[in-house]
Amino acid sequence: MRTSIGRYSVTGTLGEGGMGVVYSAYDDRLGRPIAIKMLRAASSDPAARDRLFREARAAASLNHPAICQLYEVGEDAGDLFLAMELLLGESLATRLDRGPLPLQEAGAAILGILTGVEALHRQGLVHRDLKPTNIFLTPHGVKLLDFGLAFSFEAAAEGETLARLTAAGMVVGTPQYAAPEQLRGEVIDGRADIFAAGVILYEMLSGKPPFAGRSPVEVFHAIIYEQPPVLSGGAVVMALDRVVHRALGKKPADRYADVEAMARDIRAALALADTNSTVTPRAVTRLMVLPLRSLRPDEETDFLAFGLADAISSALSGLQSLVVRSSLAASRFASDAPDLKAIASDAEVDAIVVGTLLRSGGQLRVSTQLLEVPSGTVVWSQTTQAPVGDLFAVQDDLTGKIVESLSLPLTARERRMLKQDVPATPQVYERYLRANEMSRETGQWRAALELYQQCVADDPHYAPAWAGVGRMFRLIGKYMKEEGGQEQERAEAALKRALELNPDHSVAENIYAHLEVDLGRAEQSMVRLITRARERPADPELYAGLVHSCRYCGLLRASIAAVEQARRLDSRVRTSGAHTFFMLGDYEAVLDFQFEAIPYMRNLALVMLGRTDEALVSLKAIDSGTENRLLHVTRALELLIEGRPDESFAALQPLFTLPDPEGRYYFARHAAHLGFREPALELLGGVVDEGFFCLPALARDPWLDSVRAMPEFGAILRRAEHRHRQALISFLNAEGDRVLGVSHPV
């Protein structure tokens, strides 16, 4: 060991790494202990040495409590060294070796980190190597290290990239904390540090990095293409998870524009905490149960390929530490040899269940495996054999094995939930699985309904079958217009019965919440969903329902927060968020949100943006031979663009009695824009009275300007305002702001 470096006396060795050695030393001239880092890199490269001195001089001009003070950059015997402040405490990396940080400790640490990063950015520097080993936790707060190797915005503008610096033998960043543009060798700015801060926050909360892999290549792929598992653990964690998700945007433009914006959202999230909160954040496991593969075609058991997988998925839904992808989504990946990388990337899951089934006489043999993806590591593998007439035993056994193998922490409610809903007889369960299979096809909805009804006739206490009855009645009543009109009432009765038998049945709860909105009870639906989301924060369908009910109540920011959380849990979950963006007047976001099967929303957004020629081409391409109620709407919009108001209005009239208040709101604004003011006002009055009281849309929709000065519209607006205000109170009383992590729900 050296005894001196420059004018400093070496007193010990603090650590050693790829960049060099860090010594403790003493400054005899100023009488203070210091740390010295001897740099191995850049010593033999004149250009690299010049860059290092330039950046280090800029960094040395900083004097900030969150930044380790750099005293000197010098040379000793041809080696470069940095003399800096000697810190007491430990690195964040050392602290993370003991596990995740408590919520408040992690919050304080990330705010300290961002304070230091902001000081660097004000100086025109990008740290570009933020990682736990470069963050020191002292008794007085966080200190950032190695900022003397920061990258200036000026150099970035000149085209100097991470790749070029690395090639020159300078600093090699740590892959797990590098932004996608760094890995691609592109020009970087301060948003690369924001990405790294998001990675660090995730790791502090969960105890593991968001992007993992067995090799640097796998880590690179995850950073560039994959999304990390969701963090769960209450309102604060959910709000922080949204911060992380934004900070980890794949494109710099998708992230926070600056450090202070990220810090504001973190402070707002921490403000949601109870003073005695002991919540432990956890990375939620994302699971998909693929349809089983029949080893031999068998008419008697082929329905189990989808049905059994669907039943397992349903049984596991609602566990707060698990997100289960839908069976319909899983069916897209069914094959004899599943592509694990495609499943991990496209479905964004961490584990899958695959299996085969084979009937031999009266016995059914089900062989299953739980695999980590994309690695394909087998977590467990087993073969279950049971009588064909005892299918529930197979489902119950597999469900228990999945929970056990994933080491899921279960609450008392969740343990009770997994043991509920046992069918009275094997025949009831078999009919239930057959009905589930039939319900996938519109043409078999009535046959599925009959099977579900047979189930509840034989076993009136089987909640899943009652939920199936309710679901079928709702779908038939809403989408098959030739029915008698009592389906909604029958659906409600069946769903209420399901929830009486099992208050924790997530499928029944979600269906009922949507039905309540259809029946004009959006406020009650919203409160119900908020309550359930507190209990089941990892259920994307609950948030998809909140998108709908919050919008009906005019709480548009809350609706957008629900969109973000639903998609964070399941990026492919279907929500009605396009309508929320439309009500906000953000028509560009409508275009980005989704391309619907019959793209009324997309074309309407194009019209609102003045892109009528583009909309007209799209509308004329729609197959008019398809029987669908929405064709009246698209035809009316086409006629409006062509300047044929009377025909456009006439095309809409058959839909004026549609049992869909939000749909009729669109018809009302259409009529008002065409100048048919009386019908528009009549529709608007009915819309508000029947449960769609989206006050922000009513107050600023430009297509309602023709009726805005009329007394009747003022009365409608006052009724909407009254209901909107009451819904806001209910939202806050139910702690919807905490559940969704929003401070301004409107």
Catalytic positions, please?
Answer: 129
Nearest to 189 by CA among 179, 174, 200, 197: 179
The torsion of the CA quartet 204, 207, 210, 213, rounded to 10 degrees, works out to 140
Distance in angstroms (rounded) separating the CA atoms of residues 645 and 197: 55
The torsion of the CA quartet 122, 128, 132, 135, rounded to 10 degrees, works out to -30
Work out the widest C-alpha separation in the chain, in whole angstroms: 95
Burial of 217 (0-12, 13-18, 19+ CB in 10 A): exposed
Peptide bond into 229 cis (omega under 30): no
Distance in angstroms (rounded) separating the CA atoms of residues 745 and 728: 8
Angle of helix 190-206 relative to helix 259-270, nearest 10 degrees, comes to 20
Residue with tokens 């001239």: 29
Q: How many CA atoms lie within 13 A of 99 on its CB side?
A: 5
201, 110 Cβ separation under 8 angstroms: yes
Beta strands across the sheet bearing 4-5: 4-5, 8-16, 20-27, 32-39, 79-85, 70-76
669, 680 Cβ separation under 8 angstroms: yes
User: Angle at the Cα of 268 (from 267 to 273), degrees rounded to 5?
Assistant: 90
402, 370 Cβ separation under 8 angstroms: yes
**Helices within 443-539 (DSSP H only):** 445-458, 463-479, 487-501, 506-518, 522-535
594, 271 Cβ separation under 8 angstroms: no
Burial of 248 (0-12, 13-18, 19+ CB in 10 A): buried
- 679: part of which helix (H) or strand (E)? helix 677-689
Two structure tokens written together for 55: 């950046």
Distance in angstroms (rounded) separating the CA atoms of residues 353 and 395: 13
**Distances in Å between the alpha carbon of 18 and those of 22, 39, 290?**
11, 9, 45
Strands 32-39 and 20-27: antiparallel
Two structure tokens written together for 270: 């921490």
Two structure tokens written together for 3: 């005894």
Nearest to 528 by CA among 671, 739, 372: 739
Main-chain dihedrals φ then ψ at residue 356, nearest 5 degrees: -130, 160
Helix (H, G, I), strand (E, B) or coil at 366: strand
Burial of 88 (0-12, 13-18, 19+ CB in 10 A): exposed
Q: Which residues contact 380 (CB under 8 A, 6 or more apart)?
A: 369, 370, 401, 405
Distance in angstroms (rounded) separating the CA atoms of residues 688 and 718: 10
Distance in angstroms (rounded) separating the CA atoms of residues 395 and 405: 15
